Amino acid sequence: MASSCKTLSVESYAIKTPLIEKGDTVKIILLSDLHSTIFGKNQSPLIEMVKEQNPDLILLTGDIIDDKVPNLGTELLLSGINGIAPMYYVTGNHEYRTRNIEKVRELIRSYNVSILSDAYVKIDVRNNEIVLAGIDDPDKRYYETPEYDQAASMENAFRELDGVKSYKILIAHRPENIETYRKYSFDLVLSGHTHGGQVRIPHILNGLIAPNQGFFPKYGGGLYKHENLTHIISRGLSVNPLLPRIFNPPELVVVILKSSGS
């Protein structure tokens, strides 16, 4: 692998749970931190990679749009994957930094993407009920709603899920707030934001520096276990020549939920 690259990779995780029908699987694609990066001609390598996975759900965990880069890369991707599977999105900090979050939401929705703004939906995938929840990025308080409190909003939106006997997923841009997410009955949290810590040394260093965590981040990317909660952090898709990715290729994340009885 080149030390700095724009070659896409696929990172797959399999999770067993008794809440999936015996013999069945639910395949989820996680896309994060695109920042409107364009791969190949018209985003075709990334679009084809999504199609090849034949997912049941596509989840976008923020910073799909950038505050400085034109939206072309985002629009090419969303147009190309529209109709493959139901798509759900939560905001990241860079969408708020555009200072035009309503325009961002309008663009996202125009490609048949549902936005989860401190809310949840119940989804049926071949008789497997999935509760999918999403939260806005905390930067909402700086750019849209000054009184916004993510922790309080989560309490209002998700406490009622305690005791619900379905597989419960939270999509949340920032991984460093995991202690707040753990207060709820989610089985799986999916995040982004870290860009894989920019620099990695396999088996030695899982990220040099990450936003809001600083040097040697505790949550750089990959899979983390918190008792009964699984936390998967995408290393993201963006490629910025000013912030090279060292041994840290942009990645598409695939999560496969499997029945623990199969």
Residues whose CB falls within 8 Å of the CB of residue 90, separated by 6 or more in sequence, listed in order: 60, 61, 62, 115, 116, 117, 134, 135, 136, 137, 171, 172, 173
Cα–Cα distance list, 163 to 119, 184, 202 (Å): 17, 10, 39
Mean pLDDT score, 29-51: 97
Query: Is residue 162 pLDDT above 90, yes or no?
Result: yes
* Contact predicate 57/256, CB 8 Å: no
pLDDT of residue 218 exceeding 60: yes
Please, how many CA atoms are within 13 Å of residue 40, restricted to the half-sphere of its CB? 10
* Tokens encoding 169: 């997923």
Predicted confidence (pLDDT) at residue 174 exceeds the cutoff of 70: yes
Q: How much is the pLDDT for 262?
A: 52
| Averaged pLDDT for residues 232-250 | 93
1 pLDDT above the threshold of 50? no
pTM given for the model? 0.96
Please check the confidence at residue 3 and state whether its pLDDT lies above 60.
no
Residue with tokens 């509760």: 131
Indicate the pLDDT class of residue 235, thresholds 50, 70 and 90: very high
Dihedral Cα 213, 215, 217, 218, nearest 10 deg: -100
Question: What CATH number was assigned to the domain covering residues 9-259?
Answer: 3.60.21.10
Statement: residue 67 has pLDDT above 60: yes
Query: For 10-33, what is each residue's pLDDT tens digit?
Result: 999 999 999 999 999 999 999 999
**Domain ranges (residues) in the chain:** 9-259
pLDDT of residue 186: 98
Question: What mean pLDDT, rounded, does the chain reach?
Answer: 95
pLDDT for 242 equals 83
pLDDT range class, residue 165, cuts 50, 70, 90: very high
pLDDT higher than 60, residue 4: no
- Pick the range with the lowest mean pLDDT from 95-109, 128-142, 235-249: 235-249
> Does pLDDT of 5 surpass 90?
no
Segment (H or E) for 89: strand 87-89
Residues 6+ apart with CB under 8 A from 99: 67, 143
Whether residue 43 has pLDDT greater than 60: yes
| Four-residue CA torsion sign, 243, 247, 252, 254 | negative
Please report which residue ranges of 32-191 form alpha helices under DSSP H: 44-53, 72-81, 93-97, 101-109, 140-143, 150-158, 178-181
